[in-house]
Structure 1
Amino acid sequence: MNQILLFADLREKTGKSETELDAAGKTVKEVRNLLFQTYQLPAIQESMVAINEEFATNGTVISERDVVAFIPPVSGG
């Protein structure tokens, strides 16, 4: 299983700061699409992704027990 961390708007829309998902062997893009379909999160498509605190690309393959964080763009003033 993998811990999936959700930040900012993603956390607000789902009501969760984290969830667990069997993402081992999947790419970041596959997990992104799964979360989009499950929670209807448009912001997830533009979110930055980190795996074990290292930024990752859509093609990065997730390993067992990796921690995956989705960090949406934020604005403020």
Structure 2
Amino acid sequence: MGILLFGAAKDIAGVPVLEKPEHIRDVATLRDWLYEAYPSLRQLRSVMIAVNRAYAADSQVISATDEIAVIPPVSGG
């Protein structure tokens, strides 16, 4: 399954979905890979990672069938 990107994260990457590299097995490794591949993501105040529609800690294990989403800070009124 791919990595879904939303808001500013999608704008930075230039695509709405990324392929998850096979070596990524947890959220911390995913976050490191994203920051290396897209350094501008570091400029965002915070970037949350959701696994199967629930916010995930860096220790969360990721399997090949999990739905992964990258959610940048949002504002509302």
Aligned counterpart, 1:66? 66
Report matched runs for 1:22-41 at 5 Å.
22-23=21-22, 26-40=25-39, 41=41
| 8 Å CA contact 2:24, 2:30 repeated in 1 | no
Aligned counterpart, 1:75? 75
Give how far 1:74 is off: 1.8
TM norm structure 2: 0.81
Distance 1:63 1:23, change over 3 A: same
Aligned counterpart, 2:42? 42
Report matched runs for 1:10-25 at 5 Å.
10-23=9-22
Aligned length: 76
Distance 1:44 1:31, change over 3 A: farther
Write the distance in 2 (CA, Å) between the matches of 1:4 and 1:24.
14
Aligned partner of residue 26 in structure 1, secondary structure: coil
**1:69 aligned partner, one-letter code:** A
Higher strand share: 1
Distance 1:22 1:5, change over 3 A: same
Could you tell me which runs of 5 or more consecutive residues in structure 1 were left unpaired when the two chains were aligned. Answer: none
